[in-house]
Amino acid sequence: MNTNRKVQSVTGAVAIFAALGLALTGCTNTGTSGSGSTGGSTDTAQTAQAASGPTCDLATYGGEKLDLKNAVVGFSQSEKEDNPFRIAETQSIKDEAAKIGVKKLITTNAQSTLSKQISDIQDMISQGAQALIVAPLNSDGLEPALSAAKAKKIPVITIDRKLSSGACDTYVSFLGSNFVEQGKRAADQLIKGTSGKGNIAILLGSSGNGVTTDRTKGFVDEIAAKGPDLKIVAQQTGDFARDKGQSVTEQLLQSNPDISVIYAENDEMGLGAQAAIIAAGKTPGKDIQIYSIDGTKNAVEQIVAGAYNGVIESNPRFGPLAFKTLQSFESGDKVGQDIIIEDSEYDPSNAKDKVDSAF
């Protein structure tokens, strides 16, 4: 009896350990954006920054000229479309395909599973896709799918997340934001808005996510360089989620009443922080300022209302630029291997006029 019970309790302990492991590693991936309402058909298409650096063309990559109007194009989305960034991204690809009138656009969604993205891409190739636009789930791991495309000389344009494998070899070009730059610009906005004085609490994105690392680096370095009287007093993860951003901010404000400004690495956490500031009996935007990155309608509307201070955009509307790049590549022109897009920004001076372009 005694031994039996012991065995059971050991099994129990193992089960808890497993549960804990899962709980603590946090096996979710919410992407670069949290959720938010969508809408806003007013498109602000991306524009590329002045191109420089290595280029790629048909002769180097291999393949033959193609007119996209007569082509089957495949689009592989990485994450579930449960946040405004992904929704706006997919919609933009669909809209642009319809606009230029491609023969057929096949779209797939990998539901945040790498193996599904690989099979999605392979399926699209076997369905006759002649060009591919891929939003990679991860910077590594897509090799099986990419080599299948390469074998058939199908050009692949990757968007929003950069692959670690070689450009103009495993894929043609990468189109995306510079996340370090986004962090730096948020710091610039913050320095301007606070006149360079105050105590900052940072709400980090999910741990181990490249976007988090970059947005933190850009911000922290810029504050160190240009904000000698600004002090970063806390850096805690809010997992890109509104509720976590809210509860972490509540804790921080309680133990550190000197916090005067919040930098959130996405809008959702910033909106959570806003609720926490209200709960603490203070006025968001005035007593405690809030800056974040994304450009969702919910956050930009708060700037208009005077309860939020600044948002750096991370533009999800890749469609026009992706198809333009693909078309010039297919006509034999040289295209850049790294095409960094221009992100806009919102502050109290322009939010009212630009709120309709938020996603």
Partner 1 sequence: MSQATVTITLPRRGTALGIMQRYGVYIAIAALLIYNLIFTPNFFELDNFRTQFVQVVPVMIVALGMALVIGTEGIDLSVGAVMALAAAVIPLYIGYGLIPAAILAIVVGAVVGVINGSMVAFIGVQPIVATLSLMVAGRGIALLIANEQLRSVTDPGVLSLGRGSLFEGEAFRIPYAVIVAAVLVVIVALLVNRTTFGKQLIAIGGSRRAAELAGLPVKRILLLTYVLCAALAAIAGIIGTARLGASVPSTLGNLIELSAITAVVVGGTPLTGGQVKVGGTVAGALLLQFITATLVKHDVPDAYSQITQAVIILLAVYIQRGRAAVR
Q: Considering only residues 32, 90, 92, 246, which one is a binding residue for partner 1 as defined by CB under 8 A?
A: 246
341 closest CA partner among 63, 48, 126, 128: 48
Nearer to partner 1, 125 or 234 (CB): 234
Contact 302, 273 (CB under 8 A): no
CB of 206 to partner 1, least distance (A): 9
User: Least distance to partner 1 from the beta carbon of 22, Å?
Assistant: 6
Positions 78 through 107 that interact with partner 1 (CB under 8 A): 80-83, 87
17 binds partner 1 (CB under 8 A): yes
Calculate ∠ Cα 119-121-122, nearest 5°. 60
- Asked if residue 305 binds partner 1 (CB under 8 A), the reply is no
Residues 6 or more apart in contact with residue 54 via CB below 8 angstroms: 167, 168, 336, 337, 338
Among 47, 115, 139, 256, binds partner 1 (CB under 8 A): 256
47 burial (CB, 10 Å; 0-12 / 13-18 / 19+) is exposed
Sequence-distant (≥ 6) Cβ neighbours of residue 25 within 8 angstroms: none
Closest contact distance (angstroms) between CB of 154 and partner 1 is: 30
| CA–CA gap between residue 284 and residue 151 (Å, rounded) | 55
315 binds partner 1 (CB under 8 A): no
Q: Using the rule CB under 8 A, is 127 a contact of partner 1?
A: no
- Pair 92, 324: CB distance under 8 Å: no
CB nearer to partner 1: give 32 or 173: 32
Nearer to partner 1, 73 or 253 (CB): 253
Report in angstroms how near the CB of residue 272 gets to partner 1 at its nearest: 7
Cβ distance to partner 1 smaller for residue 163 or 248: 248
Site for partner 1 in 204-233 (CB under 8 A): 204, 207, 233
State the nearest-atom distance from the C-beta of 38 to partner 1, in Å: 6
**Smaller CB separation from partner 1, 5 or 65:** 5
Of the candidate residues 134, 145, 156, 241, the single one contacting partner 1 (CB under 8 A): 241
Return the SS3 of 72: strand
Q: Which of 106, 185, 176 is nearest to 340 (CA)?
A: 176
CB contact at 8 A, 149 and 125: yes
Quote the least distance from Cβ 304 to partner 1, whole Å.
15
Q: Dihedral of the CA atoms 162, 135, 94, 180 (nearest 10)?
A: -40
338 SS3 class = strand
User: What three-state secondary structure class fits 51?
Assistant: coil
Residues 34-63, one symbol each (x = binds partner 1 by CB under 8 A, - = not), give xxxxx-------------------------
Q: What is the largest CA-CA distance in the chain?
A: 79
Q: Please tell me whether residue 205 adopts helix, strand or coil conformation.
A: coil
Q: Contact region for partner 1 (CB under 8 A) — 9-17, 162-170, 171-179, 342-350?
A: 9-17
Cα separation, 304 vs 242, whole angstroms: 20
**Of residues 273-292, those binding partner 1 (CB under 8 A):** 275, 278-279
Token pair for residue 262? 């919040």
- Rounded to whole angstroms, what are the CA distances from 204 to 65, 162, 166, 236, 337? 45, 21, 30, 6, 30
Which span sits near partner 1 by CB under 8 A: 30-38, 52-60, 184-192, 342-350? Answer: 30-38
Which position among 16, 98, 151, 305 is part of the footprint of partner 1 (CB under 8 A)?
16
- By CB under 8 A, is residue 115 in contact with partner 1? no
259 binds partner 1 (CB under 8 A): no
Residues 260/284, Cβ–Cβ less than 8 Å: no
Residues that bind partner 1 (CB under 8 A): 1-3, 5-6, 8-9, 11-13, 15-17, 19-28, 30, 34-38, 80-83, 87, 204, 207, 233-237, 241-243, 246-248, 250-252, 254-257, 271-272, 275, 278-279, 298
